[in-house]
Structure 1
Amino acid sequence: MRFTSRLILCAVVPAGLFVLALAISLWGLTRTQSDFSRYMGTEQAVAAGLSELYAQGLQSGQALRNIVLDPANQVAYDNLKASHQAFDEAYEATLAVVRGTPVEAALLPLKQLRVTQVGVQGQVRDLARSDPAAAAQALNSLETPAWRAD
């Protein structure tokens, strides 16, 4: 092999390896970006949605307890209504994100459990207006088990 051929080979091989390494790095970078975008668009959105569902469930429970403690407190009634509405909105938004994923099967039964809980909360709320002592009893015997079922 001639000297010029060796010299060209010594320049071309490292340059080729550099181009190959650059291509692999760019592929890894785009894949990382794609995976992160998917994570933020689905997993993080699901986590935020589930946290919001939990928070609104706690908020509705607290509002119901405030109603039982003081049936004349109109703010508690407003808070209960607002938490039910916010829960429904968060549920629909989260369900839209998980459509077609394995998480959807776990999220779907939550709607029926929530309907049951809201019904029991309505019974306790209505009972608080007429008989606060019975409402407190119903809160412990009916609403708490419905909440635990969620």
Structure 2
Amino acid sequence: MPTFLRNLFSHQKIKTQLIVLLAVIFAFFVVSAGVSYRALNGAKANFTEFISHDQKVMLSLTELLANGLQMGQALRNIVLDPANPKAYENFEKAGKEMDKLLKETQEIVTQDAELAAALAKVNELRQKQIAFQQLVKDKVTAQAVEEAKTVLNKDETPVWREIRQILLDQIKIKKEAMEAKEVAVQAEVARAQTISLVLTLIAIVIGVVLGLAVVANIIARLNMLTESIEGLAQGEGDLTARLQVSGNNELCRISAAFNQFVENL
């Protein structure tokens, strides 16, 4: 047994030694559990944010793009077939849904300066698009279909393409950010698992070392006492020999008592 452990144990009661052993092991397990809990709690928070915010924003951007495409197709159908009421119905529905989504999305991305600025630009372009779309419908109503096509191709479509590109860019950026966050969360959880495993192994190693040291100390003391008593019992004991007393634990007190007993023979 190392000298420092021998000196430490010799002044501690067996009960205290066992308590210290259990306390050290328990402390490492508590730290290990704390690290794991912190990592899992962080992962939970990130996942909650992903579900409640990131995924919602991504879905809104995707739906904005989808409604814009549907609205553009409906407007073309109006120009190609002015008598088709379904084209007007689809156009109005897609337009209202897009405007509603744009407003709602702007409200939930105020903390993201880049995305907020991009959506503000989309909103600005959307107002221009609405004016051009109304002009297209007015031309169709006035049966000026060729003029309607000109406004559609030269004015409305370029504005929509700009809106579409902004949305596509933001969808790409958001997707990359979500993927990066997922990687970061996985790395944090993996790091916490590694730390937890290392602390657990340390706790096991320290527990084994201290446990063996405690047992070795007790057995060594008991062996010395047993050998001396057996020697006396067989009449072969050296009455001048004394057990080593270097501490204040139960075994040291037994050794001291035995030495006193032999001295009084």
What TM-score, normalized to structure 2?
0.53
C-alpha offsets along residues 75-96 of structure 1, whole Å, 9 cap, x if unaligned? 1111111111101110111111
Distance 1:149 1:22 in 2: 52
Matched, 1:11 2:11: no
Matched, 1:93 2:98: no
Q: Which residue of 1 aligns with 2:139?
A: 127
User: What RMSD, in angstroms, separates the aligned Cα atoms of the two structures?
Assistant: 1.6
Distance 1:58 1:111 in 2: 16
Q: Which residue of 2 aligns with 1:66?
A: 77
Which moves more between the two structures, 47-56 or 32-41? 32-41
Distance 2:27 2:119 in 1: 51
Q: Give the SS at the match of 2:58.
A: helix
Distance 1:21 1:14 in 2: 11
Aligned residues: 150
Say whether the 8 Å CA contact 1:45–1:97 is kept in structure 2: no
Q: Which residue of 1 aligns with 2:160?
A: 147
Distance 2:68 2:158 in 1: 13
Residue 6 (structure 1) shift: 4.2
Distance 1:143 1:109 in 2: 16
Larger radius of gyration: 2
Which moves more between the two structures, 21-30 or 126-135? 126-135
**Structure 2: gaps spanning 5 or more residues:** 1-8, 164-265
Say whether the 8 Å CA contact 1:120–1:146 is kept in structure 2: no
Output the amino acid matched with 2:147: A
The structure 1 segments of at least 4 consecutive aligned residues displaced by more than 4 Å after TM superposition are none
Q: Give the SS at the match of 1:64.
A: helix
**Structure with greater proportional helix content:** 1
**Structure 1: gaps spanning 5 or more residues:** none
Distance 2:19 2:162 in 1: 74
Greater relative contact order (Cα < 8 A, sep 6+): 2
Please point out which of 127, 135, 150 is paired with 1:115: 127
Distance 1:126 1:76 in 2: 15
C-alpha offsets along residues 24-66 of structure 1, whole Å, 9 cap, x if unaligned? 1111111111111122222211111111111111111010011
Matched, 1:77 2:74: no
Distance 2:69 2:126 in 1: 12
Please point out which of 60, 63, 69 is paired with 1:52: 63
Q: Give the SS at the match of 2:43.
A: helix
Distance 1:60 1:134 in 2: 19
Q: Which residue of 1 aligns with 2:150?
A: 137
What TM-score, normalized to structure 1?
0.90
* Matched-pair identity in %: 35
Which moves more between the two structures, 33-42 or 68-77? 33-42
